[in-house]
Structures are given as structure tokens and as C-alpha cells.
Structure 1
Amino acid sequence: MRGSLLRTLIKRQNLFPHHFDRREQHLVIASVVVGAVVWVVVHALKLSVHFVFEHVLDWAQQAATPLVILLPLVAGSLVTAFLASWRASNVYYRDESGRVHALNDIVGDGLERTIALYYTSEPALDRALYGVQGVRARWELPTFSLALRKFLATLATLGTGGSGGLEASVTLIGESLAVGLFKPRFHLLPHRLWVLRLWRWWRTLDPDELQTVQLSGVAAAVATLVGAPLAGAFFAVEAMYRRRPVIEKFIYALVAALTAFFLGRLFTPHAGPFLRVDQVIDPPAHWRYYLFLVTLAVLVALVDFYQRRLRNAMSNFFRSRVGLSWRRHVLGALLTGVIGLLAAWLTGEPLDLALGTGDRIVAEALGGQLTLQVAIVALIGKLLTTMSTITSGGSAGMLIPSIYLGSMVGVIVAQMGGYPAAMLVIPSITASLVSLINVPLTALLMTVEIFGVGYLLPALVVLLVTLLLSHPTSVYRTQRDRDESREILPGYTVRRIIAPPAWEGRTLRDLDLRARYDVNVIGYIAQREQTQQLVPHIPATQPLHTGDRLVVLGSNEAIGRLLADLLNAPRLQEEVIQEEA
């Protein structure tokens, strides 16, 4: 009787507010489940990396020579190279010029892969040509297997001494786990009516809902890593949407982040956030301190500038000079180890000064335990080891290294100004997250959430300066399309062109663009009153007029030849007349 009454009340939705519909109920429960599953896996990865790295470090320090650190580094690079080739798939990344690049799914920076996977379910011409769109486009790519391979590759890279952060890897793991929980696997479902009904309620066929759970997975992963749920949710939203406002998705990302955070507090109550200061000293309010803050922000922006140049140079070197994948991994590991050994020799510090994730060094920077010489060597050494690890294909990220680099700049400026280290290291962490990662809201919220509201004003000052100096850039390369050109597959572009005066009154049959340039006209843009409409077919006998906008498809080289002739309209007109004659 009671059960029947309860079911009736739920069915009539009397137990929930009317605005809290079935979709929202589903997304909240899904976010909680995603947060719990992601916390378990990411927490296990975090513990595993620290456990393995500490034992490798102890073994290397107790050996007859510290050069033995090269052995686990090379072994880890070979494991990563094997995982990169085993059941590998490609994730397509679109650069700032609209070109598409095929990236291996687990090597290098995982956040770029996460961003690319996040947008796979959105409508796109290349996926329409494949005949796979919406949630199916993401289902056809790996999920749980991708999370497992990324887990093992990150453990092999960072556990053996590679330099980098966990955040990029855990975002990809969180996204893959979240999607895997909703991926249809009908052959595994028992043939029971209640199971099918449960699955029908649980499944998601809407790309918008799929992106919500993807975002929840990323937020939960970052919240588990940094111990700050609000910053984790904002990081997920900022990384995926940049300047696009998304309030509804943020709510579900926050639900998953809070779930992961409270599970961490429940099972590891003494862990706390990874950035901690025993006693936070309130910053001073006089002008001299803020002058040093501006200096700090400028120096962090300079580090960001040289980091980008170094990353591009090393990426080009590994890509053009080292052909085989396993050779790139091994060479990068050896280079990382040599730089780490040199940094330790110059300072007398342990090998984790420039190797590993750098958590201990950041803690010592906040505690004022680093000298000026150690901070300078650590800044240069960590920059070089992280770039050699990531550009050679190691599985690591840039969030924690950016905090590390900013912390070293903070120590240097604090030594120059005679301030307690934490007073400038804390704002330098904000500056580095803004300049290197381009997540200003996350940087601001993380500073306040971890160190208190007293550092809100210093954080705002360095945030403003670094935004002005490096706002258009980001360590995670953009995927957004340019207006006139879009590469749909590696080497092939869809381009909108404007008909020149030489084409006035001529038809596509007259121009014969297919034979002359090896391109296809797949449509034109028609003006309809105050709006434009893409018409996917233009008759071969329809006369063209100056200013008509055509949509053409072809290889990058063919499109380039056509554009070159369009820039030289008189020459194009002469060629048309000669061919007609």
C-alpha cells in the first residue's frame, strides 16, 4: 500500500518541484555517479604516481650514481610508446588557421584531446560526410579503454620521473569514464524488463546531455586533483567554452566536482588541497607591494612567452628530426633525465627539483624554504624538462607545471623585495594560471578558495596585468573555426570564395573549375532579404555575378592555387578567354 502510494506520488511528480523535470533529475543523478566513479580512478592514479615516483627517487638516490635515473625514464618512455600504438585511435585537432591534425589519443597533453572529444557530438561537415553525427560520433571512439591506457601511460611517464602535471591526463580520463558510463553496450545487458527500463531512463541520446556528463567528468577529475570543487567546475567550463556563457552546464559540473570533493574528504580526511600554507599571512596594502605584483605579472608573462617558443621549437624538432615514435619517447626521456640531473647537481637538491610533478617544490616555495639560486635553476630546469617530456609524447599536462613555474617567479620577486615568500608566490600562481593556461576565473576562484579572501585584491591585480599581456594566447591550442575557411579532413578544405569580376555572366560549365583547379563547387550562399542561406547546389548553367559567394571543396594545394589566381583577377580573366577561344 505504502509502495503503491509512493510510486503514485513520484509518477505525479508531487515529491519534486514542477520546474525540476525528468531531464534535470537524470542529469543530477548522472553527475553524482560520474563524480563518484571519476574520483575513485583519479584518486588511485594520484596515489599510484606519487607512490611509484617516491620509490624510484629513493632507489636512484641510494644507488652508486644518480645516472641510474635514466633507466626508469627510458623504461617508462618505452611503455608509453607501446600504449600509444596499442589499440590506438586518432583525435582530430583544429589549429588556429583551420587545419586539421590527427593526434594520437593518449600521448602528450591530454586536455587538447579532451577538448576535441568534447565537440565530437556537435554538427560538423566532416562527420556528416562520414555519416556519423551526434552522440554516435563519440560512441565510436574509445571510452573505458582510453581511460585505462591514459591511466597507464601517465603512470609510466610521471611515475618513472617524467616532468609534468596530472591535470591534463585526468581530464581525459574523467571525460572517457563519464562517456563510457552512458555508451550503449547491449550485448552486456541482461535480458530483463527492469534492466531495459532502467537503461532507457539512464541512456542519453541528446548531444547536449552528453556534453553535460563530459563536463561533469572533467570537473570531478580536476576537483579530485586540486581539492577545490568550485575551481574544478570553473576550470572544466572555461577549458571547454572559453568565452561562451554556459550556466546550466556549470551547475551539473559543480555537482560532480562536489561529489568527488566530499568523497575525498570522507576517505582521505587529512589530504586537503595540494596547495597549502601552514599560516597564511595577509598581504600588505601599501603601494610598494603592488608595484612588485605588477613586476611579478610581467615576469610571468615573459615566462609564458618563452615557454611557447620553446614548446614550438621542441615540437618541430621531435616531429621533423625523429621519425619513429619510440625514438621520440626515448630521446625525450633521456633529455628530461639529463636536465634533471644537471639541475640537481647545480643546487644540491634532490632529483625531484625538476623531475616529477613538483608538488614538494611548490610547497617549499610557499613555505619560504627556497633560495634565490635554487628558484632560478628550478624555473629553467622545470621549463626544459616539462617541454621535453610533453613534446616528445610523454603523458603529462601543463596545469601543475604552470603553478610550479609561477611559484618560482614568486620566490625570485619575493627575494628581490624582501617579502615573505607566500605573499608573492600566491599571486604568482594566479598569474601563471591566467597567462599559461588562460583560465582567469578558475585562477581567481582557486586563489580565494584555497588561500582566503585576503588575496582577492592581489589576485585581481595580477590577473588584469597578465590578461592584458597574454589574453589572446593559451597553452591549449584553440579549436574554433575561422570564418572563411575550414579544413574538414587533414589536407582537405572547405572554403568560401567571392566571385571576381572576371566571372561576371559566366557559368560553372564555362569556368570548368574541376578540370582547371581540381576543386568542386558544393554550394553557394544566397542572400535572402536580411539573412544569408547556404544552398547546397548550384546549376552548372546558372550565370554568376560579381560578389557571389561560392562554397568550394578541395585539397589545400588546389584551394591555394585557386585563391592565388583570384588575387590576380586580370590574369584569371585572360586564362578564361584563352580557354574559350
Structure 2
Amino acid sequence: MSRFSRLFHQFDPSEQRLVAQSLIIGTLVWAIIYALKNGMHWLEHHLLTFLAEQPFGVAAATLLGTLTLGALFVAALARYGSKRVHYRDANGHLHELIDVEGDGLERAISLYYASEPTFDRALLGEEGVDVRWKLPTFSLALRKIAATLATLGSGGSGGLEASVTLIGESVAAGLFKPRGVGLQGGARRMWHWWRSSDPDDLQTAQLSGIAAAVATLLGAPFAAAFFATEVMYRRRPIVEKLVYALIAALVAFFLNNIANTALAGEGFSRFSIGHLFDVDQIVLPPLGNWRYYVVLVTMCLLIASVSTQFSLLRTRLDDWFHGRFSNLWVRHLVGALLTGTIAILVWLVVATAAHYQLFGISPETSQHAWGLVLGTGEAVINQALDGRVVLAIALLALFAKMVATLCTISSGGSAGLLVPSLFLGTMIATLFIRLPLEMGWTQWTFSPVVLIVPAMTASLVSIVNVPLAAILFAVEVFSGWYMVPALITQVIVSIFTHQAPIYRTQREHYREREILPGYGVRRLPLPVEWDGYTVAELDIRRRYHLNVIGWVEQTGEGGLPYVRLSADADKPLKYGDILVVLGQNSDLELFEELLASGNILYVATAADHPDPNSPPRVLPNHRDRGERGRFAE
């Protein structure tokens, strides 16, 4: 016992607290996401069943009606009581986003980094966990749950994973948010032990919440923990945080399977391992068949191409919805009606083809035509794994589902893109499964599972950009035999799509960083022409409407670089120093262009060194630009 006690106390108090927090977060997040998942599936099942049983006119009218009501409900949530969060893209620009709208993963990333100490936060007088506490936690989770049920339950197209990441983050953060409730005695001591005043500890809790939420959906805890870590730290994986994310994911995984077993009436003596997709038996990939690798490579190239276009279409549709429809209510309604219109057109095409027995489409397929576009698409993926999706249906569903999903999400509907990305890979793999059968190429024919699983990996890598999580997902759900095909697809699609993920990265460029939408900070090297001048002499604030908030001396005291913030405006600058300049982006861009245009700057020489008491002779004001944007000379 004493040895065990010594072993336990090798964990410092901070690690003990993080383990306890991960266990509690995993339990609470699982309960919430489990209820949401089953509630959403119940709504989706009953809606699709009702549509399939009704005449076309009644079904179409019902669908448009439910989509309209769902869009209005989400628009009301976005209009009343919502908050704005800022998301930083790869170029350092900030985007203002409504917290409850659209893809929740970008919002979760923004909230995750809200408490991280940064230079721009310091400029705004904000730092640490207080930045996250100013934004909603439990209330955001409740609104996101309601918005997701309204979007997907009314017939919207999309997945659950992006919504549950935001819900998991908000619930985890909410457990540590000070509530202003007076605590006494033991409760007060417990709160002081429990609370997170360190941004690093808060981020660990947030990551645990996201991992638990994704594990509840996927049934793959290791992949879920890696998914959460990779999404947040795409270019710098943090192994220490992965451990606590894995604890929460494992808790959610086991609770998920225990609950599923109990609901199935099998009792608690044993439980079955359930995953997102149903596979009756494991089919081993033909790793010794060279034709299999040829098909894999060709399929990956097509997935990479389609995924790149999908990412571009997402950006354009997002710009179109927000640029064309400034009215929030109209934007949500247009997105919902477009989704419904696509579903109606797909139903008409499938029903017509089934009636005339075209393209191998059976009447049974037409009964499930609504599911090709509406909802998450998990049922269609399971049908493809069983080999029950024909070539024409795969081609039709591929494009219809992608456009409908983007219409739902870009217009502000609450849905995600993880399962739709799996849908994309599955439909492309189905093309490679069915085409050889149609052409009679028996040697190039493979079981659906052996192509669909690598295709899922490829689509996760190319669209969501989580390569390790994608490989682990294939291994955990479909067995370790798929490690080699998953690795091959991961390498190929990463080469062609690593710069075009569907989720914009948070890793901004060093030299360009916005502190508010439209305002940024640049670090610009001092040109040789300004060597010896002071900030006051250059008069940058009046001439260029910018503030020099400091500079980095390349040769400070002791010969080492020295950072000067709130620096003396009368201290001469030296060539090689780096100016830290704050202002509007448009002014910063013009100022940067001026520094690059050496032909119009005053050139100081040894014989003509500037007088410290007089300003430079030639320092053009960028407000004197011509109409075409060139400096007047």
C-alpha cells in the first residue's frame, strides 16, 4: 500500500487535478452528446420515413415547410442572444463569426485560443482565462444543441461532429467559469482546487471536452483524441495534452457502449463495441494484389482533386451567402430552401429512373432517395459498405450531397463536415467499385469495404486535414489490416491538398497579425534610407496614420537584439531595426509598399547626413496617391 501511495504521489497536484477533471468532463460531455446524437437520429429517421410514405407533392411541401421553420428558428437564435467570436485565418486576418451559426469547429478553435497569451491580446488589455470567461459557455452549448437539432432535424444536410466539438468545448470551459456564487468552508476549498486560472490548464480541459464529444460520435477514442489535438495543433502536436484528451475520450467511449448495450436489453454483464458504421464481418484488403494499389492511387488522385474543388466551393458559397444576403433571416431561409430544392430534384431524378428502370436504380432505392441529400448521410454510407449503392446513385449523391451540405452550413445552419467528408470519399470509392462491375473487368473488382475505408481516410486528410486521426479511425473501426492502405492514401492526398483544408488554420504569419477586424500589427525592417532618423522626425503617425508602438534593435546592449516597447520617439533608429507598427490594414499595406519603393525615399549618404533638428526632405504622404494606387512622383 505504501508503494502504491508513493507511486500515486509521483503525480504532482496539478496532474492529479487534470486527471480528475478529464474523468468528469468525459462523463458529462458524453451524457450531453449521447442524448443529442440519439435525439437527432430519432428526428431524422421519423422525418425521412414520413417523407417516403407520402405522395411527392405532400412530401415536397412538408420538407420545404420543415426546412423553413428550422431556418427561422436558427436565425432567431443567431439574432437574439448570440455573441461574436473572432477567428484568425492563415494570413493573420480576423473574421467575426456568430457563435451559434454554421460549422462549430472554427468557433471551437477560436474559443480554444481565446485565453492564450498573445501580443495582440496585450495591446487590447486582455489576457488569460478572463478572455474566455467573457464569452458564453453553458448557454452557448444549449443554443448550439437547439440549433443543431433544428437544422438537421428539419432536413438540413450536414454532420454532427463540428457542432459537438463546440458543445464539448463550451461544457468543459463552463465547468471552470467563476459564477459569483458565495462559497464557504469545504466548498470554497474544493473550488480553489478545481478552478483553472492557468490558460494551459483551461486548454487541456477544452481539449478533453472536444475529444469526449467526438469519441461519443465515432466510437473510436484514440482517433477522437488525436482529432481534437490535431485540429488545434495542426503544426505542433502537443503530446501532454493528448493524454488528458484520451482519458476523456475513453470515458465517453465506454459509457457510450454500456448505454447502447443496456438500451438493447442485453444487461450490464457485458457490452458490445459499437462504432459509427456497421460492418458485419471484417474484410481483409488484398495487400498482395498490385491492381489494388493502382486503384488506390487513382482513387486518391480523384479524391484530392474533388476535395480541392470542394474547399474552394465552400469558400465561394460562404462569401456569396454573406455578401449577397446581408439580412440574417433571408440568408438562413435561402440556404434552407436551396437545400430542400436540391433534395426534391434528386428525388425526382431517382423516382423517374426507378420508374423506367434506368441505370440499375430499383424502386427500393427511390424509397430512400430523400436520405441521399438530407441528414448526415450515415445510412447511405452503410449501404455503400454493403455494396447496395449503384454507380448512378453514387455519382448523383456525390455532387448533390456536397452542394446541399455547403448550402446548409454556409447560410448559417448548424451542422458539420466530418461525416459529409466521409460521404464524399465513400461515393468516390463506390465509383471505382461499380465501374469495373459494369464494364466486366473482373480482375479489377474489389469488395466495397477494401476501397471505401482507404477512401474515408483520404477524404478526412484532404478535407479536414487530420492525418493521424484519419489513420487511427480506419484502424480502430475496421481493424489494423487497413493500416497500409490508410498510410498510402494519407501520403498521396497530403501532397496535393495540404494547403487547402476545409477548416482555416489558426497558425498565422509572423509579420501580419490582426488585433481587431481591419486593424493589425506589422513588423517591418527599417530601410537604410532612414538610418539615423528618430520616430519623431519621420512623423509616421501624421503622414501615414500609423502608430509605431516599438521596435526591435538588432544590436542592443551586449550585442544582442533588444525589444523596445513604448520607446523614446527621440532615439535615433538604426538600419536593421524592426519597426512594430499598429494601424488599419489598408494603411499598413500602403506603408509596407512605400518601404519597398526605395526610389522615392530620401537617401542619406555620409556626406549628406540628416540634421537631427530637421525632418527628411522626401517622405511622401501615402494619402497623396493617384487614382490607380501609385505614389505621386
The TM tier, using the shorter chain, reads: over 0.9
State how far apart, in whole Å, the 1-side matches of 2:8 and 2:316 are.
57
State how far apart, in whole Å, the 2-side matches of 1:543 and 1:213 are.
48
Contact 1:521 1:550 in 2 (8 A): yes
Larger Rg: 2
Do structure 1's residue 465 and structure 2's residue 505 form an aligned pair?
Answer: no
SS in 1 for 2:515: strand
Partner of 1:44: 35
Return the match for 1:67 from 60, 74, 79: 60
SS in 1 for 2:5: coil
State how far apart, in whole Å, the 2-side matches of 1:323 and 1:261 are.
42
State how far apart, in whole Å, the 1-side matches of 2:434 and 2:385 are.
13
Partner of 1:246: 238
Matches for 1:410-429 after TM superposition, within 5 Å: 410-416=429-435, 417-429=444-456
Per-residue deviation at 1:143?
0.3
Contact 2:282 2:478 in 1 (8 A): yes
Matches for 1:227-376 after TM superposition, within 5 Å: 227-269=219-261, 272-284=274-286, 285-348=288-351, 349=366, 350-376=369-395
- Change beyond 3 A, Cα 1:530–1:26: farther
Per-residue deviation at 1:344?
2.1
Do structure 1's residue 495 and structure 2's residue 522 form an aligned pair?
Answer: yes
- Change beyond 3 A, Cα 1:13–1:79: same
Contact 2:550 2:564 in 1 (8 A): yes
SS in 1 for 2:523: strand
Contact 1:167 1:397 in 2 (8 A): yes
Partner of 1:219: 211
Per-residue deviation at 1:306?
1.1
Per-residue deviation at 1:227?
0.7
Per-residue deviation at 1:48?
1.1
- Change beyond 3 A, Cα 1:407–1:32: same
Q: Deviations over 1:377-424 (max 9, x none)?
A: 010111110111111111111100000110001111112342221111
Per-residue deviation at 1:122?
0.8
Return the match for 2:508 from 469, 481, 492: 481
Partner of 1:536: 565
What code does the residue aligned with 2:338 have?
Answer: L
State how far apart, in whole Å, the 1-side matches of 2:139 and 2:4 are.
39
State how far apart, in whole Å, the 2-side matches of 1:231 and 1:579 are.
57
Do structure 1's residue 378 and structure 2's residue 397 form an aligned pair?
Answer: yes
- Change beyond 3 A, Cα 1:44–1:276: same
Contact 1:347 1:373 in 2 (8 A): no
Bigger shift: residues 512-521 or 51-60 = 51-60
Q: Deviations over 1:253-310 (max 9, x none)?
A: 0100010011111111268111221122111121001100001111110110110121
Per-residue deviation at 1:366?
0.6
Return the match for 1:401 from 391, 416, 420: 420
State how far apart, in whole Å, the 2-side matches of 1:465 and 1:324 are.
42
Bigger shift: residues 192-201 or 169-178 = 192-201
Partner of 1:158: 152
Contact 1:522 1:551 in 2 (8 A): yes
- Change beyond 3 A, Cα 1:455–1:530: farther
What code does the residue aligned with 1:356 have?
Answer: G
What code does the residue aligned with 1:388 have?
Answer: C
Alignment RMSD (CA, Å)? 1.9
Partner of 1:523: 550
What code does the residue aligned with 2:517 have?
Answer: P
What code does the residue aligned with 2:116 have?
Answer: E
Per-residue deviation at 1:15?
5.9
What code does the residue aligned with 2:278 have?
Answer: R
Contact 1:172 1:218 in 2 (8 A): yes
SS in 1 for 2:277: coil
Per-residue deviation at 1:343?
1.6
State how far apart, in whole Å, the 2-side matches of 1:172 and 1:513 are.
43
* Structure 1: segments with no counterpart, 5+ residues: 1-5
What code does the residue aligned with 1:313 have?
Answer: R
SS in 1 for 2:514: strand
Per-residue deviation at 1:243?
2.4
Bigger shift: residues 357-366 or 313-322 = 313-322
State how far apart, in whole Å, the 1-side matches of 2:278 and 2:478 are.
8
What code does the residue aligned with 1:291 have?
Answer: V
- Change beyond 3 A, Cα 1:14–1:282: closer
Do structure 1's residue 131 and structure 2's residue 125 form an aligned pair?
Answer: yes
SS in 2 for 1:279: coil
Per-residue deviation at 1:13?
9.2
Bigger shift: residues 488-497 or 50-59 = 50-59
Partner of 2:17: 26
Per-residue deviation at 1:464?
1.1
State how far apart, in whole Å, the 2-side matches of 1:371 and 1:311 are.
27
SS in 2 for 1:93: strand
Q: Deviations over 1:493-514 (max 9, x none)?
A: 1111122232122222221111
- Change beyond 3 A, Cα 1:180–1:579: closer
Per-residue deviation at 1:90?
1.1
What code does the residue aligned with 2:162 have?
Answer: A
What code does the residue aligned with 2:91 have?
Answer: S
SS in 2 for 1:522: strand
Per-residue deviation at 1:537?
2.7
Partner of 1:3: none
Partner of 1:443: 470
SS in 2 for 1:205: coil
What code does the residue aligned with 1:379 have?
Answer: L
- Change beyond 3 A, Cα 1:33–1:569: same
SS in 2 for 1:563: helix
Q: Deviations over 1:327-360 (max 9, x none)?
A: 1110000001111111222223321111110010
What code does the residue aligned with 1:367 have?
Answer: D
State how far apart, in whole Å, the 2-side matches of 1:380 and 1:531 are.
58
- Change beyond 3 A, Cα 1:578–1:443: closer
Bigger shift: residues 268-277 or 447-456 = 268-277
Partner of 1:112: 106
State how far apart, in whole Å, the 2-side matches of 1:299 and 1:573 are.
55
What code does the residue aligned with 2:565 have?
Answer: P
State how far apart, in whole Å, the 2-side matches of 1:283 and 1:530 are.
62
Matches for 1:555-574 after TM superposition, within 5 Å: 555-573=584-602
Contact 1:501 1:569 in 2 (8 A): no
State how far apart, in whole Å, the 1-side matches of 2:536 and 2:588 are.
19
- Change beyond 3 A, Cα 1:473–1:309: closer
Do structure 1's residue 551 and structure 2's residue 542 form an aligned pair?
Answer: no
State how far apart, in whole Å, the 1-side matches of 2:277 and 2:249 are.
18
> Percent same amino acid at aligned positions?
47
Return the match for 1:577 from 600, 606, 617: 617
